[in-house]
Amino acid sequence: MEDLRFQHRVRARAGGTRRSAIVGVVASGNLEVLVERILPDAECAVDIKTAAIGFGEVWTAVIGDFVERYSPGGLKFSINDGGARPDTVSLRLAQAVRLIAENGQ
Amino acid sequence: MTTWQNNRAARDARIAAGAGLAHGKVVEAHDATRLLEAVIRPGDRVCLEGDNQKQADLLSRALLAVDLSRISDLHMVQSGVVLPEHLDLFDRGVAKRLDYAYSGPQSARIARMLFGGKIELGAVHTYLELFARYFIDLTPQVALIAAVSADREGNLYTGPNTEDTPTVVEATAFKDGIVIAQVNEIVETVPRVDIPADRVHFIVKSDKPFFVEPLFTRDPAAITEGQILTAMLAIKGIYAPYGVQRLNHGIGFSTAAIELLLPTFGERLGLKGRIATHFALNPHPALIPAIESGWVRQIHSFGSEVGMDDYIRARSDVYFTGPDGSLRSNRAFCQSAGLYACDMFIGSTLQIDLRGNSSTVTTSRIAGFGGAPNMGADARGRRHPSEPWLKAGAEADPDGAALMRRGRKLVVQIGETFGDKNVPLFVERLDALELAEKLNLELAPIMIYGDDVTHIVTEEGVANLLLCRTAQEREQAIRGVAGYTDVGRRRDHGMVAHLRERGVIRRPEDIGINPLDADRSLLAARSIKDLVRWSGGLYAPPSKFRNW
């Protein structure tokens, strides 16, 4: 297991009012993302627990591109990763943003 | 005095030597090894029918058991090296030299044996290429083939999995060779004559049906969102703009996803009748929903697929069938059809380098090529025009004179940037090169040469290599869809942005696709059971599946 943590300053707050959401499952080649709206509007944090060791550089690139593209201000992401491929990680993060951007609880 | 019929005399002597073991042409299974000892000579070129699917397994075992003092050092010329016995022949010394095309399940062992010097390798061919050599410089002296049934005269019914048999028999029987067939049963009258009796010299009745591999069944349940996204990009980004009607699909999950998206995503785009109407293709179960929805007009097949027989029989408007109603496949004809009459090949691979060369060879596995290099190559002898072919030609050479400009076949490599176990699809250098150096080969086993590849599709987008004007543009176009692989992360961001402006690289949003819409609910069938339902209960799925 490896723990990684990324913190970014972002330009805008994520849309919607939902407080939290979960997408994906922890399984081989997949991942679970818990997203919570608990940070100041200009901040974003991503905590990762991953089964695959030595992919820090790839995670840095994936998370950097994600934050640049979606500007997920105010959101904290907690990831349990079962060795998912980078494209799956990008997809799950985008799904998490879409889900929390819905209005409601 | 010169004699001109030595080969005929030798053939007659071989037949006479085997005749003592036969009643008419029929030899008992327990005499099969003795028959082979009687008719085969040391050093003979032997085609032991191992096709992509159908295997002459009884004759393989019989050949493996021969007395080495009578038969050794054979030169095996067969398209598929699929059964363990095929390689045991080399371990035991029955055979020495090998020319072949495909070795799927034996790919790791064949690599070890090549390194260990157990096999003297001629070449790894594409199917059509090996068939061609059967008629020029690799003509078999003996062919050991497999059929469903035979009559007493020796007429053979090869059934849905006819595959390579007519080609093998043609080359052997008409050049003074011996043809020995294993059959599942001997009948009064065969359902149809696939091989006429005068080309068959001996028949051995097998106690169990010949082995057939279910190679083309992809369980829709295993299709990922990433594969659905690449499939959507291919349909909307390539099939639609080029108007691709005549094509061949590879056997991976991405192309299975395309097949399952036609009646849903494709239908919504209004593409029915405009794309994917005529195929050179095995009977893929994943295509059933598209067929049932009226998308597909015609399919010619290389072989059959386990469980599809009743469905095919009931859909003879779509498939090629014999007077008996069952599928007639023929690998040589279907490969020709794929080469000359299809406008697109789309398939997966294991490695792609910076020039677009691709290979399924890794340092520990030599899977062979099968049909891909033939399907995935521009046919230089093609002369008939079609919309996709002309459009691709114009993109490659926009300044050429239209009436003198060759068209181009669309050769599309589709895949996710990372494959199984997070192994990257894109590499700086193919493992095939390392293998060629280690084995001292004169030619690295490249599956599809980069200059034949026109498009690469990944979850990151579509790279149109026809629009690249320099080697540097080509490299950046490939890096630009290589995702987070090392190759992808080492891209020149400025140049990739410029290529995107020119439409050389198109992202999902440039094609009007939201990756978040890539959902399994888009698949017309989400399980094998769904496929059975679509087929009205005619498809009878096999119990095991294989991953590519």
- What string of DSSP letters covers B24-47? TTEE-GGGHHHHHHHH--TT-EEE
CB contact under 8 A, B422 and A95: no
Among B420, B458, B484, pick the best mutation site for testing chain A contact (most A Cβ within 10 A): B484
Distance of CA A84 to the CA centre of its chain: 13
Name the burial class of residue B14, with classes exposed (0-12), middle (13-18) and buried (19+) by CB atoms within 10 angstroms of its CB. buried
Helix and strand numbers, DSSP H then E, in chain B: 21, 22
Contact of B516 with chain A, judged by CB distance below 8 Å, is answered with yes
A-chain CB neighbours of B489 within 8 Å are 57-58, 61
Cα B522 to Cα B515: distance, rounded to the nearest angstrom? 13
CB contact under 8 A, B484 and A91: no
Tens-level pLDDT at each residue, chain B (548 residues)? 789 999 999 999 999 999 999 999 999 999 999 999 999 999 999 999 998 889 999 999 999 999 999 999 999 999 999 999 999 999 999 999 999 999 988 999 998 998 888 999 999 999 999 999 999 999 999 999 999 999 999 999 999 999 999 999 999 999 999 999 999 999 999 999 999 999 999 999 998 999 888 889 999 999 999 999 999 999 999 999 999 999 999 989 999 999 999 999 999 999 999 999 999 999 999 999 999 999 999 999 999 999 999 999 999 999 999 999 999 999 999 999 999 999 999 999 999 999 999 998 887 888 888 899 999 999 999 999 999 999 999 999 999 999 999 999 999 999 999 988 889 999 999 999 998 898 888 999 999 999 999 999 999 999 999 999 999 999 999 999 999 999 999 999 999 999 999 999 999 999 999 999 999 999 999 999 999 999 999 999 987 653 33
pLDDT tens for each residue of A35-60: 999 999 999 999 999 988 888 999 99
Taking one residue from A and the other from B, the number of pairs with CB-CB distance under 8 angstroms is 39
Q: With contact defined as beta carbons under 8 Å apart, do B460 and B481 qualify?
A: yes
Distance set, CA A80 to CA A46, B388, B393 (Å) = 11, 46, 48
Nearest Cα to A10, choosing from A75, A77, A57? A75
Among A55, A63, A87, pick the best mutation site for testing chain B contact (most B Cβ within 10 A): A87
Please provide the size of chain A in residues: 105
pLDDT tens for each residue of B388-447: 999 999 999 999 999 999 999 999 999 999 988 889 999 999 999 998 898 888 999 999
Contact of B460 with chain A, judged by CB distance below 8 Å, is answered with yes
Question: Which phi and psi (to 5°) does residue B146 adopt?
Answer: -125, 135
CB contact under 8 A, B226 and A87: yes
DSSP B533: H
B-chain CB neighbours of A60 within 8 Å are none
B-chain CB neighbours of A53 within 8 Å are none
CB contact under 8 A, A86 and B483: yes
From A61, A86, A94, residue closest to B418, measured CB to CB: A86
Alpha carbons within 13 A on the beta-carbon side of B499: 30
Residues in a beta bridge with B346: B249, B412
Distance of CA B304 to the CA centre of its chain: 12
Q: With contact defined as beta carbons under 8 Å apart, do B223 and B254 qualify?
A: no
What pLDDT is recorded for position A48?
A: 97
What pLDDT is recorded for position A42?
A: 95
Residue indicated by tokens 């080399």: B90
Cα B479 to Cα B476: distance, rounded to the nearest angstrom? 5
Cα B144 to Cα B268: distance, rounded to the nearest angstrom? 50
From A55, A83, A85, residue closest to B416, measured CB to CB: A85
CA-based nearest residue in chain B for residue A93:
B516
pTM of the predicted model, to two decimals?
0.95
Q: With contact defined as beta carbons under 8 Å apart, do A92 and A23 qualify?
A: yes
Q: Give residue A84's identity as a one-letter amino acid code.
A: A
State the virtual CA torsion across B270, B272, B274, B275 in degrees, nearest 10: 110
Cα A35 to Cα A94: distance, rounded to the nearest angstrom? 11
Contact of B484 with chain A, judged by CB distance below 8 Å, is answered with yes
Among B422, B457, B481, B486, pick the best mutation site for testing chain A contact (most A Cβ within 10 A): B422
Neighbours of B482 (CB within 10 A): 25
CB contact under 8 A, A62 and B516: no
N-term to C-term CA, chain B: 58
Distance from B422 to chain A by nearest Cα, in Å?
A: 6
CB-based burial, B459-469: b 16+ in 10 Å, e otherwise: bbbbbbbbbbe
Neighbours of B489 (CB within 10 A): 15
Neighbours of B456 (CB within 10 A): 28
CA-based nearest residue in chain B for residue A95:
B516
Question: Which phi and psi (to 5°) does residue B80 adopt?
Answer: -115, 130
